[in-house]
Structure 1
Amino acid sequence: MISLPVVLISIVLFFVLFFGIGFLLNMLLRMSWIMAVVYPIVCLFIISNKKMISYVQAPGESFQSLFQRIMSLAVADVVILAGGLAGAIMSGIAIKALRKRGYQMF
């Protein structure tokens, strides 16, 4: 069982982490929603305990295992990952707003 302060700090950390990564990727690649699109793949890397090559070599077993792990996530884990998704989405909104106001990043 995770304590409430740990969950709150983790939510803030995931939000800030993925906001920052998304902001930098959006600036460099000039695609406003790149991190919001990539974030679900990052979540699968976080959740999965299998090597990525196993999804090619034994896809049935690997995807079944991944589905089982997703279904067994605790509410706190889902909320923390949702905080990261919110950060990724907010980075896209921030870049769009800055570009609309005339700021050209790279």
Structure 2
Amino acid sequence: MPLPVLLISIVLFFVLFFGIGFLLNMLFRSSWVMVILFPIVAILIVNQSKLIEYVRQPIESLKQLGLNFAALHMADIIILSSGLLGGICAGITIKLLRKKGYQMF
């Protein structure tokens, strides 16, 4: 993966998950919604089989999911980690704003 694409992807995932996490934290009046939902989102990004396959053939689907996670390249791991970091920063920002007296919704 070229370096400019990697850098743009890192910033994009950080901003995307920060924004979504910030909005979800405001709506649900919680601070860590996106951090809790991030593993589900990461599984949906890495997943290649349909969700119904987890009901029909759970063992095979979970094995395939494990192989997909093991086959991730370092660039993919860095990009997904930047998304998690964006969710964590959204939680910290919401906590700081609430501590300073700002009430969101």
TM class, shorter-length: over 0.9
Letter in 1 for 2:27: L
Mapping for residues 6-85 of structure 1, pairs under 5 Å: 6-85=5-84
Gaps of 5+ in 1: none
TM-score calculated relative to the size of structure 2:
0.99
Q: Provide the C-alpha distance between the structure 2 equivalents of 1:23 and 1:75, rounded to a whole number of angstroms.
A: 27
Give the TM-score normalised by the residue count of structure 1. 0.98
Q: Return the alpha-carbon distance in structure 2 between the equivalents of residues 23 and 12 of structure 1.
A: 16
Give the partner amino acid of 1:31: S
Q: Which 4+ residue blocks in structure 1 deviate beyond 2 angstroms?
A: none
SS at match of 1:5: helix
Deviation at 1:53, TM superposition (A): 1.2
Q: Deviations over 1:66-105 (max 9, x none)?
A: 0000000000000000000000000000000000000000
SS at match of 1:66: helix
Alpha-carbon separation, structure 1, partners of 2:3 and 2:67: 25
Task: Supply the distance in 2 between the matched residues of 1:28 and 1:22 (Cα, whole angstroms).
Answer: 10
- Structure 1 segment 88-99 matched on structure 2, within 5 A: 88-99=87-98
Query: Considering only aligned residues, what root-mean-square deviation do their CA atoms show, in Å?
Result: 0.4
